[in-house]
Amino acid sequence: MFDRLRSHVMARIELTEEQFAESTRFFIPRHLRRKEFLLRAGDTGRYIAFVNRGCLRSYTIDKKGVEHVVQFAIEEWWIADLYSFLTDEPATYYIDALEDSEVLLLDRPSQEELCATLPAYERFFRLLLERNYIANHRRIAATLSLTAEERYLFFMKTYPQFVERLPQHQIASYLGITPESLSRIRRKLMQKS
Amino acid sequence: MFDRLRSHVMARIELTEEQFAESTRFFIPRHLRRKEFLLRAGDTGRYIAFVNRGCLRSYTIDKKGVEHVVQFAIEEWWIADLYSFLTDEPATYYIDALEDSEVLLLDRPSQEELCATLPAYERFFRLLLERNYIANHRRIAATLSLTAEERYLFFMKTYPQFVERLPQHQIASYLGITPESLSRIRRKLMQKS
DNA sequence: TTCAATCATTGATGTAGATCAAGAAATTGG
DNA sequence: CCAATTTCTTGATCTACATCAATGATTGAA
């Protein structure tokens, strides 16, 4: 159950086996079927989720009813509506499972207690946020400076594991284009090579 | 010199006056004239900067030579090429001053030592990154789901202090549109009201 | 105080990607 | 294994915003 989390955490911070074992009591395992929601906009989403198996996404729905994928998460990734997690305000994102999945949930009080009990976890979450900060700024820069085709190539290069695993229209949504446009981009790239 | 940093830090973490005073030795004050670079893409940018006075921006330059603003920073904001800071790889962003500015620089070894000496700073940087994570995800969601006009309104609402202070074409660049388009959007909004 | 640079505006025209519509292909769950 | 659903593709057309070009308004350095 906690094998993947153990290797993930212990690769990043100094922790004994005993300390890690102690930390597992803070995590709540949960199974999600494909299309099942972990969180809906409006809920108070007081946990962050570590993906043990499967694939999830967070997204918004605009006023026309169109979904816009903000993030994907597969094995060893974390996903959350961090704003809601940190402030207890209602969530602004939806999070659901794109495949049957297993997640480990950590709620806010548990995270506080975990960091207080094992300060190395404070460092762990800082490192996690640093990586995220970098990835988000790259995505912003890509959106500002690249065409749809270039963004797709960038996505393929950066997240090859996602390209084989996700439906195309989900990737299109993440890239900020329509499924039709992505289909045409792919055709064009096929012809080139 | 450190007044603004003191109130900024002490509003966020528990620190005695003595502890804060101790921490100031890690920061290197630096003055920047308008248009002066703090960092260029390709440099190794091994510090993060706290803005004491003035205004800076980070940006990329695309293959056509067009600049794309990734971030603005005014008083009490932090700015950096975090990837370069964390990895020692060459910077991917440019950072320069839009006004004459004073910054406090913290290099990577100093940050490590600071966090080791005063663990509250570990928490401080985690909090900082959390806020940033939220802001970045909101910006991504806005880019995915809003029109140029809606993004401008969102920007005005979120960062009113920037709107009065920054040249329009810098805001246009941040929003991912041309200065001409922003000018037309503003005209349209004037007429509406 | 002036001249050069920077910045904002406006009009004419171009285009990347959206939208609409329809059908084909692939998946999935019963 | 099959019907229902989801996903992908393709064509025709549309539109938000870009590009190009010119002019005026501000700003700032000497």
C-alpha dist (Å) from residue A40 to A36, A81, A170, B28, B103: 10, 10, 18, 45, 41
Q: A180 CA to D12 C1', in Å?
A: 13
In Å, how far is B101's CA from the nearest CA of chain A? 23
Distance from CA(A118) to C1'(D24), angstroms, rounded: 64
Q: Rounding to the nearest 10 degrees, give the CA dihedral for residues B144, B150, B156, B159.
A: -10
Mean pLDDT score across all residues of chain A: 95
Q: Between the CA of B169 and the C1' of C3, what is the distance in angstroms? A: 24
Q: CB atoms < 10 A from the CB of B21, how many?
A: 12
Strands B37-39 vs A67-73: parallel, antiparallel or unpaired: unpaired
Weakest mean pLDDT among A65-69, A147-151, B41-45, B105-109: B41-45
- Residues of chain B found within 8 Å of residue A60, distances taken between Cβ atoms: 141, 144-145
Q: What is the DSSP letter of B93?
A: S
pLDDT tops 80 at residue A192: no
- What CA–CA distance (Å, rounded) separates B145 from A136? 17
- Superfamily designation of domain A3-118: Jelly Rolls (2.60.120.10)
Name the average pLDDT for chain B: 94
Angle at A142 between CA B128 and CA B172, to 5 degrees: 80
Q: What is the pLDDT of residues A64-76, one digit of tens each?
A: 999 999 999 999 9
How many Å lie between the alpha carbon of B93 and the closest alpha carbon of chain A? Answer: 9
**Band of the pLDDT at A44, cuts 50, 70, 90?**
confident
Task: Give the best residue of B111, B129, B132, B155 to mutate against chain A (max A CB count within 10 A).
Answer: B129
| Distance of residue B134 Cα from the nearest chain A Cα, in angstroms | 6
In which element (H, E) is residue A71 found?
Answer: strand A67-73
Q: Over the stretch B69-123, which tens digit does the pLDDT of each residue have?
A: 999 999 999 999 999 999 989 999 999 999 999 999 999 999 999 999 999 999 8
* Buried residues in A20-51 as b, exposed as e (16+ CB within 10 A): beebeebbeeeebeeeeebbebebebbbbbbb
User: Which residue's CA lies closest to nucleotide C18 at its C1' atom?
Assistant: A178
Asked if A180 CB < 7 A from strand C, the reply is: yes
**CB–CB contact A60 B145 (8 Å):** yes
Q: How confident is the model at residue B1 (pLDDT cuts 50, 70, 90)?
A: confident
Task: Name, in order, each residue with C-beta under 8 angstroms of A18's C-beta and a sequence gap of 6 or more.
Answer: none
Domain regions of chain A by residue span = 3-118
Residue of chain B nearest A59, judged by CA positions = B141
Q: Are A66 and A118 in contact (CB under 8 A)?
A: no
Residues of B in contact with A134 (CB under 8 A): 82-83, 86
pLDDT for residue A185 is more than 70: yes
